[in-house]
Structure 1
Amino acid sequence: MNSYRQLSSLAPYFRKHRKQFILGIAFILLSTIFEVFVPQFIRQAIDGIEKGISSSGLASLALLIVGTAAISGFFLFLTRQTIIVASREVEYDLRNDFYNHIQGLSIRFFHNRSTGEIMAYASNDINAVRMFVGPAVMYSANTIFTFVITLGIMLIINPALTLLALAPMPAVSFIVYRLGKIIHDRFEDIQSHYGLLTSRAQENLSGIRVVKAYVREVYEIGRFRDLSWSYLKKNLRLARVQVFMMPALSFLVGLSIVIVLWYGGTLVIDGALTLGALTQIIIYVGMLIWPMIAVGWVINLVQRAAASMGRIQSIFKERPEISDNEHTDHSITKLDGRIEFDDVSFRYTESSPWILRHVCLDIPPSASLAIVGQTGVGKTTLVNLIPRLYDVTEGVLRVGGYDVRKVPVRTLRDHIGYVTQETFLFSDTIFRNIAFGVDNPTREEVEYAARVAAIHDSIMEFPKGYETYVGERGITLSGGQKQRISIARAVLRKPPILILDDALSAVDTHTEEKILKNLQEIMRDRTSIIISHRVSTVKHADHIIVLSEGKIAEQGTHDELLELGGMYAELHYKQLLADELESM
């Protein structure tokens, strides 16, 4: 029942492609009907030979046998062209639905799931479901039709002999029942472990620079080998069950043939059954061999698919914490750059410590705000609340005068250009990385954004310029180059609000000043927020806040904070001293 419940979620996909499945099953029925006619013609030929059939009559029967088999094969070909193609289309739909659903989930979901685990769902699990939708459905229909039609004809020929041939069948049901659940549980365990394996490989390849820098290749190989060995053992445990199932079913089918030969032979000797009829029944029993074996194989596919669909459904049941709802005001389409934090507090869970406490802040449109503070005081968390990567726990956050929880999520984020602390580039060309946030930008627009980010000249030094592939996560570029491409990506969107989260940490002071000067020009009518550890980066901001332990400890202009003589002033003089020491 559990397997049925898990697989019942595929009903919408079957309904969508029902014409192909119905047509395919009809082809299976026609193929089976023509297939079971072949033994009937063979019986007539054998009995005819005993009675002295003419050569022309025997030739006619031979042609009937060949022609009927050919027609059966043709319908079998059409079956594959419908059901197998439909299964591929279901796989396509399911994978797209899965990917679309993943894209809509909130950031918090990805805190608890590794990339490799999600990749396992999208590849291995969906492939297991396809094997059920295609081969399992096809062979299930073939098995049912073959059993029903063949057994019906066998009962007409000789009921007693047919019932004896069916004697081993209860044992088949027992084996299928006992081993089905074991296969399901073990395959589910295998799929979970496959997620760990792919996650380990993905993390290793993404962090290959760190692995090599710390000479940890041997250590990483050992960790991966241990996971692979565990994965192998789990597969072998499943294989032992499968290895037992197939020979057991084959033995029971062979036992049926022995029974038919023994009892049917005595009937032929006694004259109660013709040799042709016995041959026909033996062929029919032989025709049941594959369906009998297919039962075990199909059960295996069903249990695998049920386990995989259960895992996939666990993802589909996840709901985004942040999405449009009945409180969303879809009439809001434009936002100015005003940002208001009204007594905002935030923590990730009810049991976790507070990250932000009672933050009150009013950033006018077109103003620039700088945020400084030690590591871990909540700077990034504060700006993550603006595009609603997380929702405030207490208080109200407004953008453009609206509570962000009432603004359509897409509208809100369309008004924000965000360069995150962790620079990410896609394995694509520089041009496409810069153009990522905009549909079909012109070459001139991309180059202008690159010039603002002071990366254009560096790009043109590459042999292929903007068509240079940057590799996995931009591995072929320096940290400063990656940061500047990310800034260009945000600038290209021309957002009313621009957020730079420590986005200049990897560039030199001269380049930093150039970028900030360029940004001042284009952000004159836009709101900008800059997080940085460098006073030189933030000193020209209209307003500066210093965060400490999740609260605003100091705020004002650069000169006001220096006059205050607090944490900001201390940071300023320490950096001045460091710069002087470097220049000595």
Structure 2
Amino acid sequence: MRKIFPFLKPYRITVIAALVLMLTELVVELINPLLIAKIIDDGIMKNDINVILTWGVVMIGLSLLAFLSGIINSFYSSHVSQSFGYDVRQALFQKVQSFSFANFNIFPTSSLITRLTNDITQIQNAVFMGLRIMLRAPLLVIGGTVMALFVNWKIALSIVAAIPILLLLLIAAMKKGGKLFRAVQEKLDTVNSVMQENLAGMRLIKAFLRMQHEVKRFTKANRDLRDRTIAGLRLMEMVMPLLLLVMNASLVAILWFGSMEVREGSVQVGEVVAIINYTLRITAAFSILSFIMMVYTRASTSAGRITEVLEAEVDLIELSNVNASKKITDGKIVFNNVSFHYPHTTSPVLRDLSFTVHSGETAAVLGATGSGKTSLFQLIPRLYDVDEGMVEIDNSDIKEMKLDYLRKQIGFVPQEALLFTGSVKENIAWGKETASMEEIIESAKAAQIHETIMKLPKQYETKIGQKGVNLSGGQKQRLSIARALVRKPKLLLLDDSTSALDLKTEARLLESLQNYQCTTLIITQKISTAMEADTILLLEDGKLLVQGSHEELLNSSALYQQIYDSQFGKGRENHVQGAN
């Protein structure tokens, strides 16, 4: 919780005001039994109506004061808890944005969603309860005990004897409850994970008729969450009857000894009534404490989970000797003996990789699945850092470049086209926040998607469904390419981003890319695409097998010849070249 408390500092004045108002309520609640005792002993027992009316009016006035204090306290408590939750959620989201891909391997998406939503809600509730009643309950127990001892310490001893037993019960339940509610949050992560996978793969589930299988998966995850939650709540609910049992036993003892003292004349009736009032208030406070204990236990667990994210070490950071003025001017890319393996794995995906792509060139990257093509791409914008060797741009180590600036100069189109809910224009402008309409249209034309956009109901203002659900695969790919082109990058990385395009559309796209002054790397499985590149990199098992032009590889690489023959057939080289 210590990592979370600093988020309350901006609201310390409001917090103090809420606590003062809560203490006002508490003082009134502690004074009222004394006033009742005075009304009974000096008014009712002596038939003095003036005493009854005078102190009755005082009680009404104090009750109104407590009522107003409670209303204002609730307002302040709500304001602080909601603002506090907003700030924590904002800080948590910004932390997630700073994560490297390695961090996302530690914190699954479903877990991060739970932490950003349910976990923050738990600590918001704890803050509200803390300012509203959490401190009031223990103070009421302490204050009520002290006041009862002040009225008559002999009769009040039964309360003093009961409190240690009650505290031990609460502490034991909190320790056990902490473990149970952490398991609850983890099971909630699992439910979110299953639900997220199902919603993302709904088309596939329906196509393969796997609905019943997925229902069983969700049912199991949901049942586990239910069972864990019931176990936690059952523990907390068991505490309440035990608390009432002990406090009712104290109440019986007070009535027993109080009646004896009254008969002997050593205690007044009002004093016994006052002590009973304090006992009832302490009982109510302990009842609230059991509820508060559940809120606090869940909040403590959630705070720990949030702290894990806030304190997570981001391995991709800028070095102290970063050159803030370094700019990408030419876009020459050099890999010098680069080796790389993913975090928490031992097998390298790239081994001793060395090659050069000169400024303005187009390089096609070919290789079988698992050969390291995408891994190579992820090293250029420093989504991961190399284990050995160096990646250079314009003869400078990319680690010595400012990370934000490096990525702003790169147009990256991932293998899976990802669009956001919003208009076509907003999705393209997502690549460059300040892009004008002319720049958006220019990039759309270059990506061969402008004509398609103009046929949409509202053209560039047409809303795109979540993840582009209302677009075809080729349309989504071309919009993703337009988003990369709108920033006029110095480096353009296309990760198998033309796989859904027909040959004519792809040819027009590659031709239009020639108008951009950038170095282009294209991961592709199509020889027709590779043939248009200035140089071809052929990878196998994380190593560079060979680099050269189409003609050079066709004459020197047996693997490239096999790939070519599988797509065009033997003896068709001259025909294809003639067609070009």
The counterpart of 1:421, out of the listed 410, 415, 418, is: 415
> Which residue of structure 2 lines up, in the alignment, with residue 536 of structure 1?
528
Query: Which residue of the other structure, out of 19, 22, 25, is the alignment partner of 2:16?
Result: 22
C-alpha deviation, 1:225, in angstroms? 0.4
Query: Deviation at 1:287?
Result: 1.7
User: What SS does structure 1 have at the residue aligned with 2:266?
Assistant: coil
- After superposition, the Cα gap between the structure-2 partners of 1:112 and 1:206, relative to the gap in structure 1 and judged at 3 Å, is same
Q: Please say if 1:184 is aligned against 2:178.
A: yes
Structure 2 SS opposite 1:340: strand
- Give the AA of the match of 2:199: L
* Residue 151 of structure 2 corresponds to residue 157 of structure 1: yes
Give the secondary structure class of the aligned counterpart of 1:552. Answer: strand
Query: Which of 293, 300, 303 lines up with 1:306 in the alignment?
Result: 300
- The whole-number CA distance in structure 2 between the counterparts of 1:212 and 1:238 is 37
Match of 2:37 among 30, 43, 56: 43
Distance in 1 (CA, whole Å) between partners of 2:16 and 2:327 is 47
Cα distance between partner residues in 2 of 1:40 and 1:440: 70
Give me the whole-angstrom Cα distance separating, in 2, the residues matched to 1:569 and 1:388. 33
Write the distance in 2 (CA, Å) between the matches of 1:34 and 1:46.
Answer: 18
User: What is the aligned counterpart of 1:401 among 384, 391, 395?
Assistant: 395
State the Cα deviation string for residues 231-254 of structure 1 (Å, max 9, x = none): 111111112211211121122222
Provide the C-alpha distance between the structure 2 equivalents of 1:49 and 1:294, rounded to a whole number of angstroms.
Answer: 33
* Contact 1:257–1:285 under 8 Å retained in 2: yes
> Cα 1:14–1:399, aligned 2, differ >3 Å: closer, same or farther?
same
**SS in structure 1 opposite 2:15?**
helix
Structure 1 502/406 Cα, relative in aligned 2: closer, same or farther at 3 Å? Answer: same
Task: After TM superposition, give the deviation of residue 565 of structure 1 in Å.
Answer: 5.7
| Partner deviation per Cα, 1:312-342 (whole Å, 9 max, x = no partner) | 2222232111111323222324443111111
Match of 1:3 in 2: none
Residue 511 of structure 2 corresponds to 517
Partner of 1:444: 438
In 1, Cα distance between the equivalents of 2:65 and 2:557? 94
Aligned pairs for 1:262-301 (under 5 A) are: 262-301=256-295
Whether the 8 Å contact between 1:371 and 1:532 is mirrored in structure 2 is yes
8 Å Cα contact 1:39/1:283 also seen in 2? yes
Deviation at 1:57, TM superposition (A): 4.5
Which residue of structure 1 lines up, in the alignment, with residue 538 of structure 2? Answer: 546
Q: Distance in 2 between matches of 1:374 and 1:11?
A: 52
- What residue is the counterpart of 1:4 in the other structure? none
Helix, strand or coil: the match of 2:368? coil
After superposition, the Cα gap between the structure-2 partners of 1:27 and 1:565, relative to the gap in structure 1 and judged at 3 Å, is closer
Contact 1:366 1:528 in 2 (8 A): yes
Q: CA deviation at 1:175?
A: 0.8
Secondary structure of residue in 2 paired with 1:8:
coil
| Cα shift readout 1:64-119 (whole Å, capped 9, x = no counterpart) | 22111110111122222223321222211111111111111111222343211111
User: What amino acid is the match of 1:534?
Assistant: K
User: Matched residues in 2 for 1:104 and 1:31: separation?
Assistant: 45
SS at match of 1:327: coil
The letter of the residue matching 2:565 is: Y
Task: Work out which of the residue numbers 88, 92, 100 in structure 2 matches 1:98.
Answer: 92
Post-superposition CA distance 1:399-421 (Å, at most 9, x none): 12210111111111111001011
- Contact kept in structure 2, 1:490 and 1:498, CA below 8 Å: yes
Alignment partner of 2:569 out of 558, 574, 577: 577
Distance 2:254 2:177 in 1: 32
Maintained 8 Å contact 2:351/2:542: yes
Q: Give structure 2 stretches of 5+ with no counterpart.
A: 573-580
Residues in 1 aligned to 2:112 and 2:526: alpha-carbon distance in whole angstroms: 38
Task: State how 1:463-478 maps to structure 2 within 5 Å.
Answer: 463-478=457-472
Show the 5 A alignment for 1:79-478. Answer: 79-349=73-343, 352-478=346-472
What amino acid sits opposite 1:539 in the alignment? M
Contiguous gaps of at least 5 residues in structure 1: 1-6
Q: Would the aligned equivalents of 2:244 and 2:283 in 1 still touch at CA under 8 Å?
A: yes
Letter paired with 1:52: N
Q: 1:220 to 1:415 in 2, by over 3 A?
A: same
Partner of 1:53: 48
Deviations 1:509-534 (A, max 9, x none): 1111121111112x2x2111111111
- Work out the CA distance in 2 between the residues paired with 1:125 and 1:225: 23
CA contact (8 A) 2:361 2:519 kept: yes
Matched-pair contact (CA < 8 Å) for 1:136–1:301:
no
Where 2:258 maps in the other structure, the secondary structure is helix
- The equivalent residue for 1:526 is 518
Distance in 2 (CA, whole Å) between partners of 1:505 and 1:391 is 28
Q: 1:562 aligns with which of 554, 568, 571?
A: 554
Matched, 1:499 2:493: yes
Are 1:452 and 1:488, in contact at CA under 8 Å, matched by a contact in 2? yes
Measure, in 1, the Cα distance between the counterparts of 2:499 and 2:257.
88
> Residue 243 and residue 340 in structure 1: after superposition, are their counterparts in 2 closer, same or farther (change >3 A)?
same
Whether the aligned pair in 1 keeps the contact of 2:22 and 2:131 (CA below 8 Å) is no
Tell me whether 1:13 sits opposite 2:7 in the alignment: yes
Return the alpha-carbon distance in structure 2 between the equivalents of residues 336 and 80 of structure 1. Answer: 61
Q: Does the 8 Å contact 1:426/1:472 carry over to 2? A: yes
Contact 1:84-1:135 within 8 A present in 2 as well: no
Deviation at 1:182, TM superposition (A): 0.9
CA contact 2:353–2:543 (8 Å) conserved in 1? yes
Distance 1:26 1:579 in 2: 90
Q: Summarize the Cα distance change of 1:318–1:367 in structure 2 as closer, same or farther, 3 Å threshold.
A: same
User: Cα–Cα, structure 1 residues 408 and 531, in superposed 2: closer, same or farther, change >3 Å?
Assistant: same
* Native 8 Å contact 1:267 1:273 kept in 2: yes
Partner Cα separation in structure 1 for residue 432 and residue 290 of structure 2:
53
Of 44, 52, 62 in structure 1, the residue corresponding to residue 56 of structure 2 is 62
- The answer as to whether partners of 1:369 and 1:543 remain within 8 angstroms in 2 is yes
CA contact (8 A) 1:356 1:550 kept: yes
- SS for the counterpart of 2:365 is strand
TM-score normalised per structure 2: 0.94
Task: Report the residue type matching 1:263 in the other structure.
Answer: F
Give the CA deviation at 1:579.
Answer: 13
Q: Distance in 2 between matches of 1:409 and 1:63?
A: 71
Distance 2:392 2:125 in 1: 50
**Identity %, equivalent residues:** 30
Check conservation: 1:37, 1:68, Cα contact below 8 A: no
Distance, in Å, in 2 between the alignment partners of 1:338 and 1:44 is 92
Deviations 1:245-304 (A, max 9, x none): 112112222222222222112222222222222222222222222211122222222222
**What corresponds to 1:483 in structure 2?**
477
Q: Of 24, 29, 32, which aligns to 2:26?
A: 32
CA contact (8 A) 2:26 2:136 kept: yes
SS of equivalent to 1:424:
coil
Do the aligned partners of 1:455 and 1:485 also contact (CA within 8 Å) in 2? yes
Q: Distance in 1 between matches of 2:91 and 2:366?
A: 42
